[in-house]
Structure 1
Amino acid sequence: MIQFSEPIFAPYTKKDEEMLQEATRNTYRIIKYMKLAVGLAGVFWPGSLFAKRYQDPNAQVYIYTPFETSSWTGYSFSVLMEVSPIGWIGYGHLAIDCLIATYYAQAEVQLKIIKYNLEHLFDSSGATDRVQDGGRIMYGDELDKDLRHRFVHYIQRYETVAWFTKEVSDIFNLAIAFELFSSSALLCLVTFVMSYSPIMSVAFVFFSVVLVVLLMRVFLYCYFGNMVQFQSESVATAVYLSGWLSASPRLRRDLLIAMLRWSKDITPVVAGIVPLSLTTYVSVLRSAYSLFAVLSTRN
């Protein structure tokens, strides 16, 4: 897989560097919040088990232990055996979620860089008005010999981002599909258990944190996938907003051809048909609520 350290993705202006740094800070911030949420779940889960034992001296942890758990010491070790492996698994899932979201976030910022530079493509060529040179009209791409080269570079950059996004979707296709399916079921089950837990209890707080973690995991995929699609949809508009009137007829034809290509947006998909978008996120929530309603009715 191509890395974002490749020259095609390198920043060429100070504005490019600022957008990359901003994307990096936002990614670190999201990862920090996810770690915090998983850490809180890791604290409230054993807390809920100890609170249950405090309320019921005969409460047990439903795992096999080679020692008795009637005492607080044995019960504490059984809680440790229950919580420790699941905590590592939780952080493992978190690492995969953040990795995939980071790939899409970097694709998004690359599209933002392409948009910004296309919109200001003709700024370095001077005024947008044509300049007379001995009775001959001088166009912007004639005054700035490097303009066409920059335009071709951003065409190649866009195609590389499109290829990269497709590669990410293909590689993590099964993982994301399973995540969306399992999260819908888990959201239903967690909400169902919460409905039978006292609000002023450690268990309710624990399930609330788990619910937030599940919502954030699905939101990561759908949000950044939606942002990639949104940014790619407006690339052609960025060309129209540029000073294309100063371009020569030949370059205008090239701009028109590129805009036709860019009118087909980059949409990350799962299973070949399900787009990663906020609409899909809402569909997952609706599916979870439908399952919850069925369970509540049958109960």
Structure 2
Amino acid sequence: MRITVNDYNLCDSFALEKKLLLLAGFYPNREKKYLRLYYLSAFINLVISYGQLVTMVIQMVLDRSDLLKLTESLLYFFTHFTFICKLLNFQCYFNELKKIEDFLTDPAFYGFSSTQLEIIKIKIRSCDTIANIFRVCCSCTITFYSMVPFIDATRKGALPLPGWFPYDIQKYYSVTFFLQVVSVIISAYGNTGIDILTWKLISIASAQFEILKQNLEEIDFENDFDETKELLVKCINHHLKIVELTKKVQNAFSKGMFLQLFCSIGVICTNGFQMVLVPIASSQFAFSVSYLCGMTCQIATYCWYGHDVMTTSDEIARSLYMSNWYQGDHRIRKMLTIFLENVKKPILIKAGNFVTLSLATLTQILRSAYSYFAVLQRLYNDA
């Protein structure tokens, strides 16, 4: 039995992320339901998020002469600023998201067997597992954010986040504390939703390449010319559609991915600097470890799935060579020659249209973060 869009819709693989982002007002409301609540939710979340960003910027200006306080502010600022920019980019490409959803119902992505359906399900389950680990890291970080003022005697009465407010904080401590925690939750909530949605879309492209590889290997080139040509044309069309899907995903998320990779260098650097300065037995150190795990998981997953698409697309020509192509009609072999030229280069997912998502990029990010960390530590020691 061949699977159709009615049997398994690829859009269902990211249904949870879609619902969560829609609830926050961060995803296009195509059905136009509960519009007042939708816009109200978006307005409240955006006001709190942008308000927190402004207080951080003012605080950094005030702390510009104190390297220790400045790096602490930068640690939170990088993450929050990245989220705001990713969200802004995400909202600017609402129409592209709709087009991606519609494109995923194209018949070229279906017609596979129930066995091949398992390839997609395994990829999505794997992504769900990583997503849940990432969510746990974010939840632990939020918990530490909220608990530090209560379990750390040195920070008693302090706010979870650095920020300047035009009033007496101690007088309105509970309200200010609550708003800061809410801003952290919104940031983590939106960040994880956008990230996991991106990972799953890339995973779908990777799974489609795996199915294409199987279909190419299973073509019997000894069969009738018309039958072989039909199967080969179907595979070629499938390949073109997958390439188009990767381009659409890259177009919609490229700027956000680039900003995430770039700011991750600053976050890992400043976080490592904070870990060196605080006592190992302190709550601040535990928070820093949790924060570092979450950030590393975030960028590593981007690079891993980008690398996965690159390797699976690079193996298409090899899969074709595994078939009995040499026994095909000379007209078929001419078609194969052209097709092999098209699949010679692997498909690359690029952040900012020039940084390739791969394990090599992950290594470069970690090296850069360590280099800046070493410079920062030297500046602190010399001060």
Whether TM-score is above 0.5 comes out as yes
**Paired residue secondary structure (2:281):** coil
Distance 1:172 1:56, change over 3 A: closer
Asked if residue 32 in structure 1 is aligned to residue 132 in structure 2, the reply is yes
Distance 1:83 1:154, change over 3 A: same
Alignment of 1:104-123 (within 5 A): 104-122=202-220
Question: For 2:268, which of 187, 192, 209 is the aligned residue?
Answer: 187
- Assess if the C-alpha contact under 8 Å between 2:148 and 2:155 holds in 1: no
Asked if residue 289 in structure 1 is aligned to residue 374 in structure 2, the reply is no
**Paired residue secondary structure (1:60):** coil
Q: How far did residue 243 of structure 1 move?
A: 1.8
- Cα separation, 1, equivalents of 2:332 and 2:227: 13
- Could you say which structure has the larger radius of gyration? 1
TM-score normalised to structure 1 length? 0.86
Q: How far did residue 11 of structure 1 move?
A: 4.1
Alignment of 1:71-150 (within 5 A): 78-122=176-220, 140-142=222-224, 145-150=226-231
Which amino acid in 1 is paired with 2:270? Answer: L
- Aligned twin of 1:161: 242
Distance 1:68 1:234, change over 3 A: closer
Q: How far did residue 44 of structure 1 move?
A: 1.6
RMSD: 2.0
- Cα separation, 1, equivalents of 2:212 and 2:178: 51
- Aligned twin of 1:278: 359
Which amino acid in 2 is paired with 1:288? Answer: A
- Assess if the C-alpha contact under 8 Å between 2:140 and 2:290 holds in 1: yes
Distance 1:189 1:102, change over 3 A: same
Asked if residue 177 in structure 1 is aligned to residue 177 in structure 2, the reply is no
Which amino acid in 2 is paired with 1:69? Answer: Q
Which amino acid in 2 is paired with 1:205? Answer: A
Q: How far did residue 23 of structure 1 move?
A: 1.5
- Cα separation, 2, equivalents of 1:249 and 1:211: 57
Residues 196-243 of structure 1, C-alpha deviation per residue, up to 9 Å, x if partnerless? 111122211111111111111111221111111111111001000112
Q: How far did residue 31 of structure 1 move?
A: 1.7
Residues 51-86 of structure 1, C-alpha deviation per residue, up to 9 Å, x if partnerless? 22x3465x422553867638xxx7555433322211
- Aligned twin of 1:5: 105
Question: For 1:198, which of 265, 270, 279 is the aligned residue?
Answer: 279
Which amino acid in 2 is paired with 1:30? Answer: I
- Aligned twin of 1:134: none
Which amino acid in 1 is paired with 2:146? Answer: P
- Cα separation, 2, equivalents of 1:22 and 1:160: 21
Percent identity, please: 26
Can you give the 5+ residue segments of structure 1 that lack an aligned partner in the other structure? 123-138
**Paired residue secondary structure (1:172):** helix
Moved more, 3-12 or 161-170: 3-12
**Number of equivalent positions:** 277
**Paired residue secondary structure (1:140):** coil
- Aligned twin of 1:69: 170
- Assess if the C-alpha contact under 8 Å between 2:169 and 2:176 holds in 1: no
Can you give the 5+ residue segments of structure 2 that lack an aligned partner in the other structure? 1-98
- Cα separation, 2, equivalents of 1:15 and 1:166: 27
TM-score normalised to structure 2 length? 0.68
- Cα separation, 1, equivalents of 2:305 and 2:140: 24
Distance 1:249 1:56, change over 3 A: closer
- Cα separation, 1, equivalents of 2:372 and 2:265: 9
- Aligned twin of 1:16: 116
**Paired residue secondary structure (2:302):** helix
- Aligned twin of 1:132: none
